[in-house]
Amino acid sequence: MSKPNQVLVEIEMPDEFDQFRLPEGVNERLQELLDRQDRGETLTNSERKEAEGLVNLAEFLSLLRLRILRVWREEQQPA
Tens of pLDDT along 25-61? 999 999 999 999 999 999 999 999 999 999 999 999 9
Dist CA 19 CA 61 (whole Å): 9
For the chain, how big is the Rg over CA atoms in Å? 17
pTM (two decimals): 0.72
Taking the CA atoms of residue 69, residue 60, residue 12 and residue 70 in that order, the dihedral angle to the nearest 10 degrees is: 20
Separation in Å, CA 18 to CA 35, 49, 64, 77, 79? 24, 26, 11, 22, 27
Instruction: Quote the pLDDT of residue 39.
Output: 98
Q: What is the structure's pLDDT at 50?
A: 98
Q: Give the rounded distance of the alpha carbon of 46 from its chain centre.
A: 20
